[in-house]
Amino acid sequence: MTDPLYPSSQAKLSDPQYRAAMLDKIEALISVLQVAHTKVLANLGTASADRSRLRRVEAQVSNTLKVCRKARVALRGDQPISREEIGRTDLEDLCSRLAQTQIA
């Protein structure tokens, strides 16, 4: 059951500043979910893990990440990553996350 966006929300999406603010929130949420996903995967490898619960949590986090990534694509439209976004990116943090992803 998906309700259509309220008319006021639909109108806000045409505002570039609102879209940018929403994109920032989505990016932050994706970052948090990626860390959570990494931790869940790490905990699955421990001997005392409740594997069935962790598998459910992993599935939920993965599904939420997929939704957030789709929202990010929709909010960006066909726009490439801007120089401003590149400038705001913490490259050390990005490299650290990429290294963790490859290990996990």
Residue 9, token pair as written in the block: 């929300």
pLDDT in tens, 30-47: 999 999 999 999 998 888
Q: Report yes or no on 10 lying in a domain.
A: no
Angle at CA of residue 28, ends 19 and 71, nearest 5°? 45
Q: Report yes or no on 23 lying in a domain.
A: yes
Q: Report yes or no on 59 lying in a domain.
A: yes
pLDDT for 60 beyond 60: yes
| pLDDT at site 36 | 93
pLDDT in tens, 63-73: 999 999 988 88
Instruction: Please tell me the total count of domains within the chain.
Output: 1
Whether pTM > 0.85 for this model: the answer is no
Concatenate the DSSP letters of all residues of 88-102 into one string.
H--HHHHHHHHHHHH
Per the structure, the complete domain to which residue 22 belongs is given by 15-103
Q: Report yes or no on 4 lying in a domain.
A: no
Concatenate the DSSP letters of all residues of 33-57 into one string.
HHHHHHHHHHHHTSTT--HHHHHHH
Residue 47, token pair as written in the block: 């001997």
